[in-house]
Amino acid sequence: MAAMFSQNPLMNGPNYSFNQAPTTASGNKQHGFYPYTDNGGSTLAISGNDFTIIAGDTRSTSGYNINTRYAPKVFKIGGTTDSQDDATLVLSVVGFAADGHALKERLDAIVKMYRYQHGKPMSVKACAQRLSTILYGKRFFPYYVTAILGGLDEDGKGAVYSYDPVGSYEREQCRAAGAAASLIMPFLDNQVNFKNQYMPGIGEGHALAEREKIPLPRNEVEDLVKDAFDSAVERHIEVGDGLLMMIITKDGIEEIFKPLKKD
């Protein structure tokens, strides 16, 4: 992801969004306007049997600077009130914060309009499809964000939909996005979907049997999210400061804030 934000192919070594190209004066100075930046940060979503957790760190960066230690990337969508108390959907956006904010505002207005016209809240499935068309609507001047939408599906089961910047999407069990996605995703594969885990004492080669997949309970998922971020904070300089989690259940959306290392 970070690579696509870079203007200089030379900097694709370390996976940072800021420009490390040497700024030596050579020849005529070229001027240009580049409409995108990267504000760093990471998001993570995991769905359970009857809940969905969407989390994001609250740091906003530009280059080596921190803009603020508290800029949420996770938003409630489509409630009837300003406080969004009765919202049922959560959107997370990471990448270019201005585009992320614009996307959130637009989706929120659309979901509110849907409720007005249909007299009921929008389903995650419908909202997921709509979000895809919004993103693709700017196919040739994209929203530079990786979006994740979460909620409960028609059967009350947790649902997570992940997107690329131009609207390609799929429903998944879990997904990490943003600066530390490459650090978190393998951890999730292993701990949520039990990838590369086998039944103990069963032997080698063809005798190996995969560990049985069971849906994780909520408290364990919360712990996974916290561990994933604590780990990412250690290894990526754009992640830190605070962790904002939204937990969607049939009773509404719960917000949990946990401090992260500020270094």
Partner 1 sequence: MFRNNYDNDSVTFSPQGRIFQVEYASEAVKQGSVVVGIVSKTHAVLVALKRNAEELSSYQKKVIAIDEHLGLALAGLASDARVLSNFMKQQSLSSRLTYGRAIPLERLVSSIGDRAQTNTQHYGKRPYGVGLLVAGVDETGPHLFEFQPSGMTQEMVACAIGARSQMARTYLERNLEKFADAGREELVKHGLAALKESLAQDKELTVENCSVGVVGVRAEGAKAIEAFKLYDGMEVKQWVDLVAEGNETAEGGMEVDS
Closest-CA residue to 239 (of 43, 14, 93): 43
226: contact with partner 1 by CB under 8 A: no
258: contact with partner 1 by CB under 8 A: no
3-state helix, strand, coil in the chain (%, to 5): 30, 25, 45
105: contact with partner 1 by CB under 8 A: yes
Per-residue tokens: 158: 């947790």
With H, G, I as helix, E, B as strand and everything else as coil, classify residue 240. Answer: coil
Q: Please say which residue, 121 or 158, places its beta carbon nearer to partner 1.
A: 121
Q: Please say which residue, 113 or 209, places its beta carbon nearer to partner 1.
A: 113
Q: Of 107-115, 152-160, 177-185, 196-204, which segment contacts partner 1 by CB under 8 A? A: 107-115
112: contact with partner 1 by CB under 8 A: yes
Question: Are 150 and 248 spatial neighbours (Cβ–Cβ below 8 Å)?
Answer: yes
- Torsion over CA: 118, 120, 123, 128 (sign): positive
| Minimum distance from residue 105 beta carbon to partner 1 (Å) | 6
Per-residue tokens: 40: 């760093």
Q: What is the dihedral of CA 176, 177, 182, 187, to 10 degrees?
A: -10
109: contact with partner 1 by CB under 8 A: yes
DSSP conformation class of 198: B
Q: Please say which residue, 102 or 237, places its beta carbon nearer to partner 1.
A: 102
| Minimum distance from residue 116 beta carbon to partner 1 (Å) | 6
118: contact with partner 1 by CB under 8 A: no
**Burial class of residue 91, CB neighbours in 10 A (0-12, 13-18, 19+):** buried
Residues 29 to 88 in contact with partner 1, rule: CB under 8 A: 80-82
- What is the per-residue binding string for partner 1 in 154-193, x denoting contact by CB under 8 A? ----------------------------------------
Q: Please say which residue, 77 or 179, places its beta carbon nearer to partner 1.
A: 77
113: contact with partner 1 by CB under 8 A: yes
Q: Please say which residue, 112 or 258, places its beta carbon nearer to partner 1.
A: 112
| Minimum distance from residue 251 beta carbon to partner 1 (Å) | 19
Per-residue tokens: 146: 């990786």
| Minimum distance from residue 131 beta carbon to partner 1 (Å) | 17
Q: Please give the helix or strand (H or E) that residue 130 lies within, else none.
A: helix 124-137
What residue ranges bind partner 1 (CB under 8 A)? 80-82, 105, 109, 112-113, 116
